[in-house]
Amino acid sequence: MSTNAREVADLREHVRRLGIPLFGESAAFLALLRNVERVASRGTATVLIRGETGTGKELVARAIHYLGPRREFPFVPVNCGSLPESLAENELFGHRRGAFTGATDESTGLLGLAHRGTLFLDEVDALPTKAQAALLRFLQDGIYRPLGGAREERADVRIVAASNRCLEQEIAAGRFRNDLFYRLNLIAMDVPPLRERPGDVRILSCHFLRQCAERYSLPGKRLHEYTMSWFEQYGWPGNIRELENLIHREYVLCDDPELSIAVPAGLEGAPRPAPKLDSGELPYRNAKLHAVHEFNRAYLTQLMQRTHGNVTRAAEIAGKERRALGKLLKRYAIARRDEREHAD
């Protein structure tokens, strides 16, 4: 193992020991992990994490916190999209007694709770305009004023923000402050979607299966290879969250030790994109599996066209048992004509 590969392996193991479920072997994932390590060591720099829904942006934020010098202090996450406009400033900056009707006690606010640690602002694009202005002030000089407070407070907090929207478009539409964007975008990180992480679907699937077995104290299960084959073709618009939810649901509902999950509508005949063998991003094992998969699909498709869907005749030509050929046809979702075979 090269020095660089060993360092990456050690980093992956460190992240897992911290209890942060970041899994993968693809080049895109490993590049992200290296960036996480570099960014984590810059303990005060503001970070903006960008990526599609379900890619694991909060996990990346947690890794940045727990791999960095602030790990002994709080990591405080908040979904800005869940904050009502009238309460956003109060949630972030707290209030003093009597600041508004019903404020009988003081509230520290999330900034105060995150002192010396990290405040993670998920869906930061959803912050109301007034809260954006107050956050900008804090990012500029590290001070803020609680609602109803007579004096300003100071907090030592690292801000890590995330968004699945194009903030430049939000700025153009007048929904997000340009100056706040540049403050947050000091260090920018992009989390790749699952479809750009070749090979990682298999690794993540195995992880989620183990997780389900531990959660329900049940025997381990595995995915049928045909299910795994379409998993690796599918675009996963909901990314890792979609994959996790699908496996969780099927694990609970299926009593068999092997999970065979139906192919999504429209995917059965979809060609798989060719691997980028010249990019060096596809591991040998995955490249081999892909080549075998494509050969099997092409061979079986031509075979069934030649025999007009007659499985018995096709098995004779292929030199395989009829039942074994039937299983292959099912795995690759290739049409057969069982109802006419006995007549033939």
Nearest to 201 by CA among 227, 171, 176, 168: 227
What is the tens place of the pLDDT at every residue in 139-185?
999 988 887 666 788 899 999 999 999 999 999 999 999 999 999 99
**Cβ atoms 108, 94 nearer than 8 A:** yes
Distance from C-alpha of 154 to C-alpha of 138, rounded to nearest angstrom: 9
> Predicted confidence band at 91 (pLDDT cuts at 50, 70, 90)?
confident
What is the tens place of the pLDDT at every residue in 300-321?
877 877 787 888 888 888 888 8
Higher pLDDT, 20 or 275: 20
Other Cβ atoms closer than 10 A to 63: 23
Report the range of poorest mean pLDDT among 17-26, 60-69, 107-116, 277-286.
Answer: 277-286
Residue type at position 57: K
Distance from C-alpha of 33 to C-alpha of 15, rounded to nearest angstrom: 9
Domains of the chain: 3-192 (3.40.50.300), 196-270 (1.10.8.60), 275-344 (1.10.10)
pLDDT at 149: 66
> Predicted confidence band at 51 (pLDDT cuts at 50, 70, 90)?
very high
Q: What is this structure's pTM? A: 0.74
Cα–Cα distances (Å) from 181 to 48, 184, 322, in that order, read 9, 5, 63
Question: Which residues are 161's β-sheet partners?
Answer: 48, 121
pLDDT at 264: 72
Question: Across all residues in the chain, what is the average pLDDT?
Answer: 84
